Amino acid sequence: MFKLFKKKPKEKQPPQLLDMEGVPIESGDEVMAHRYELGKCTVELEGLQYFYVSQATGKKVSYVKMIDAITENQKVKKI
């Protein structure tokens, strides 16, 4: 009837990432990637999307490509 209480629009947040063991991953963390031969990587946040940047080669891979289909966690291990 009357719209006295309006819903506030929610601010978009970056997704919560978990490593293989369920440990939360944040921007700036170092991880060991188990895909794409990245090796030791640094986690970077650009906008609302995380990227894994290889320390050895400089290759940059989106967090979306590192999702495990069964557990929905990342295929990385936090160091």
Mean pLDDT of 9-32: 92
**21 and 11 in contact (C-beta within 8 Å)?**
no
Q: Is 20 left (phi over 0), alpha (psi -120 to 50) or beta?
A: alpha
**What are residue 9's phi and psi, to 5 degrees?**
-65, 135
- Mean pLDDT over each residue of the chain, to the nearest integer: 91
Task: Specify the CATH architecture of the domain 17-78.
Answer: Roll (2.30)
Question: How many percent of the chain have pLDDT more than 90?
Answer: 76
What is the reported pTM?
0.83
Q: Which two tokens stand for residue 18?
A: 């978990």
Q: What's the pLDDT band for 26 if we cut at 50, 70, 90?
A: very high
Looking at residue 4, its pLDDT comes to: 74
β-strand 30-33 against 76-78: which pairing, if any?
A: antiparallel
Mean pLDDT of 50-78: 94
